Amino acid sequence: MAPASRLSTRVLLICAAIGVATGLLGALAGYVSAPVWALAPIVYGLVLGSHVIPGVIAQELLRRPWVALVTHGVAALVAGAFAPQWIGRYLGTALLIGGLQEGIAALARYRIWQRWRFFLSGGIVGAVLAVAMSFALDAGRLAPWALVVFWVLLVLGPVLWTAAGLALGASLRRTGVARAVR
């Protein structure tokens, strides 16, 4: 007989439901990314920051190992179904952000679930995105003041979306969605 999985069917189904809903948000973010970058590149971080939300909701609701990465994976597949031209970006973002969220939770041995830990995670994700996107988008072409705003919003975007994800996860917990998972 095979050993029991660390993620029950119930947990996987909850991750899938969160992943589908947030995958739709990810597809929308994908479609607005190019116009935002073309028209107002300094606020691009607010759009890109939305990609933290699958893992934040899953971790806030379920408080278990691997739920951020699984939920990000489902969200990437759903977003890719609606925007197949960006499937590679969605999967890469899922691995990067979901991996960072899992890594930060793992450093605390999946025992610290206070809000500050989520905001720390959002800030770290934002810092990594700021460095990566500065190179990927040739942000150096921006005026110095715009570059500073660009970096600040790349860090702040994931933090703001983390707050939204925490609110959604807490609301789902109050409805009893994860009651039988404990």
How far apart are the C-alpha atoms of 122 and 104, rounded to whole Å?
10
Which H or E run includes 64?
Answer: none
Which tens digits make up the pLDDT trace of 49-76? 999 999 999 999 999 999 999 999 999 9
| Torsions phi, psi for 145 (to 5 deg) | -65, -40
Report CA dihedral (22, 110, 118, 131) to the nearest 10 degrees.
Answer: -80
Which tens digits make up the pLDDT trace of 98-128? 999 999 999 989 998 999 999 999 999 999 9
Residue 37: closest CA among 139, 161, 156, 149:
139
Residue 2's pLDDT band, with cuts at 50, 70 and 90, is: very low
What the block records as the tokens of 182 is 């404990």
According to the model, what pLDDT value does residue 158 have?
95
Assess whether pLDDT exceeds 90 at residue 18: yes
According to the model, what pLDDT value does residue 1 have?
47
Mean pLDDT of the chain: 90
According to the model, what pLDDT value does residue 171 have?
93
Assess whether pLDDT exceeds 70 at residue 4: no
| Torsions phi, psi for 144 (to 5 deg) | -55, -45
Using CA atoms, how far residue 7 sits from 67, 71, 87, 134, in Å, is: 8, 12, 25, 37
Which tens digits make up the pLDDT trace of 24-46? 999 999 999 889 988 988 898 89
Task: Map tokens 């095979």 to a residue.
Answer: 2
Task: Map tokens 């921006």 to a residue.
Answer: 142
